[in-house]
Structure 1
Amino acid sequence: MTRTICLNADIGELPGQNGRAMDRAILDVVSRCNIACGGHAGDETSMSQTLKAAKARNVIAGAHPSYPDQENFGRVSMSMSSEDLKDTLRQQVRTFLSIARDIGAPVEHLKPHGALYNDAARDAGLASIVAAVAREARLKVLVGPPDSELSRAAAEFRLSYLPEGFADRRYQVDGSLMPRSEAGAVLSDIKDQISQVMEFVDNGSVQVATGERVQLKVRTICLHGDTPGAIQSALTLRAALHAHDIEIETPAL
């Protein structure tokens, strides 16, 4: 029996036509994408071009807002009032959705980026802000880590939740991502990435930094589109999944 998995990618993050070319290449592989909304990367031009590319390939698009910090690519936690954070996320998402409407590109989900993703996974208040912004924008789905404050906020705000795992990131024993600042946090070897993805798909678990296996049931796997060799890694991973009779598609929510 053929199994399925959703692959998603964070895109619209690299500048210029080289960035858009990389986006188009990875959109040929994935079934969902998360497009930078200007907080950590991207502008109206990149949003428009990336949404058009996703629409042309029937890839479901989502908003990918973040702390307003392009200097650090949204990877540093910021201390902001609840209202200020909600305002910046709301503005990022509104700009993105306005462009999507002009293009006629459907947008279904929201996935926070970087430090906000990790912070909201642990902090119920931040998770509620993210979920509230999604709900206000009439987005139906929130994407984030399994069994997290984001998953609980999604239930509170009556949103569907898509639990996510990463192909190229090492996990800690509590199920959280190992900080990028630590050695070994990023899996650069495609064989290691394939092994981790197959562990997710076959067993609903992942081998963490200590060598233990931790249960993490995910329904989508994220591929980063801004890392060296990302396109070749994505193609190799797709081939490995197909070799195991695993099709790439978006689950019904």
Structure 2
Amino acid sequence: MDKIYHIDINADVGEGIGNEEKLMSFLSSCNIACGGHAGDAETMAKVINLAMKNDVKIGAHPSFPDKVNFGRLDMKISAEDLYSSLKYQISALQNVLRLEGAQLHHIKPHGALYNLAAKDRKTAKVIIAVIKSIAMPIKLYAPYKSVIAELAIDENIQVAFEAFADRNYNENLSLVSRKNDDAMLLKKDSVLQHVLHIIKHGKVKTISGVEVSIKASTFCVHGDSKNALEILKYLNQELPKNHILIQK
């Protein structure tokens, strides 16, 4: 009998694209921008209600406080100021969640902050400190073998290893830079094969052709890619045929 796998599919939302209503029914969790790179109380409330309607788990998607660069560039900021900003962003989302009667499930840093925390202990420690300051247990979405994931596990924070369904990887498990033409996987079948290989073989085929070990229980599809809806529909259709269930 074939093994049954259970996974989560997430997307970053509330970032000004405005396609959340179309995407939400194909997700099992979402990461809501909370003011650092995008988002305000109005967009947070709208997306929270869509998530609740579709039984989608809600996460905070904090960033370097840099709307000009959409949080995609490293920012020179002290640990104290970064902590204050992240705390403020997550608290802003929590305030709206309370008003809407919803709960925070996880935290997933955005963009440059996510990438830096994967390799830089100082940055990772700030995010860990913010998570520990929250009264209730909160999951962290983070890359496999990343610095932040290892620190979180040491601090008894539950980590969901995340892989990117629509991005190519380097041999060190970093993402291929968006400056490269081949950073994104745009064809729906390529995305499916990429995800299937990670789930069933525990390996990712990198941009150089070398296969590298990886683990993931949650897969991100970028909501701002032009065919995000097509990819999500296809994954929802094809994954169950391969004994992989999307866990709401």
- Per the normalisation by structure 1, the TM-score is 0.94
Q: What is the distance in 1 between the residues matched to 2:137 and 2:39? A: 20
Q: What is the distance in 1 between the residues matched to 2:98 and 2:193? A: 39
Q: What per-residue deviation string (whole Å, max 9, x for no partner) do you get for residues 76-96 of structure 1?
A: 110100001111111000000
Q: What per-residue deviation string (whole Å, max 9, x for no partner) do you get for residues 199-221 of structure 1?
A: 11111110001101000111111
Match of 1:5 among 4, 7, 14: 7
Aligned to 2:16: 14
Q: What is the distance in 1 between the residues matched to 2:25 and 2:137? A: 24
Match of 1:218 among 216, 219, 222: 216
8 Å CA contact 1:145–1:165 kept in 2: the answer is yes
Aligned to 2:151: 153
How big is the shift at 1:139? Answer: 4.4
8 Å CA contact 1:132–1:157 kept in 2: the answer is no
Equivalence map 1:173-212=2 (5 Å):
173-212=171-210
How big is the shift at 1:190? Answer: 1.3
- Per the normalisation by structure 2, the TM-score is 0.96
Q: What is the distance in 1 between the residues matched to 2:243 and 2:209? A: 28
Match of 1:56 among 53, 58, 74: 53
Q: What is the distance in 1 between the residues matched to 2:138 and 2:40? A: 24
Unaligned runs of 5+ in 1: none
Q: What per-residue deviation string (whole Å, max 9, x for no partner) do you get for residues 117-158 of structure 1?
A: 000000011111111111212342111100111111212332
How big is the shift at 1:245? Answer: 2.3
Aligned length: 245
- The one-letter amino acid of 1:104's match is G
The secondary structure found in structure 2 opposite 1:224 is: coil
How big is the shift at 1:2? Answer: 3.0
The secondary structure found in structure 2 opposite 1:185 is: coil
8 Å CA contact 2:144–2:215 kept in 1: the answer is yes
8 Å CA contact 1:173–1:214 kept in 2: the answer is yes
- The one-letter amino acid of 2:45's match is S
Q: What is the distance in 2 between the residues matched to 1:135 and 1:13? A: 26
Match of 2:91 among 90, 94, 97: 94
Q: What is the distance in 2 between the residues matched to 1:3 and 1:75? A: 33
The reply to whether residue 31 of structure 1 matches residue 28 of structure 2 is: yes
8 Å CA contact 1:66–1:113 kept in 2: the answer is yes
Aligned to 1:81: 78
Unaligned runs of 5+ in 2: none
Aligned identity (percent) is 36
- The one-letter amino acid of 1:70's match is K
Q: What per-residue deviation string (whole Å, max 9, x for no partner) do you get for residues 159-194 of structure 1?
A: 100000001111000111111112211111112111
Aligned to 1:121: 118
- The one-letter amino acid of 2:174's match is S
Q: What is the distance in 2 between the residues matched to 1:11 and 1:42? A: 9
Q: What is the distance in 2 between the residues matched to 1:240 and 1:211? A: 25
- The one-letter amino acid of 1:58's match is D
Task: Name segments (4+ residues, structure 1) moved above 3 Å.
Answer: none
8 Å CA contact 1:110–1:139 kept in 2: the answer is no
Aligned to 2:141: 143
- The one-letter amino acid of 2:60's match is A
8 Å CA contact 1:111–1:143 kept in 2: the answer is yes
Q: What is the distance in 2 between the residues matched to 1:110 and 1:117? A: 11
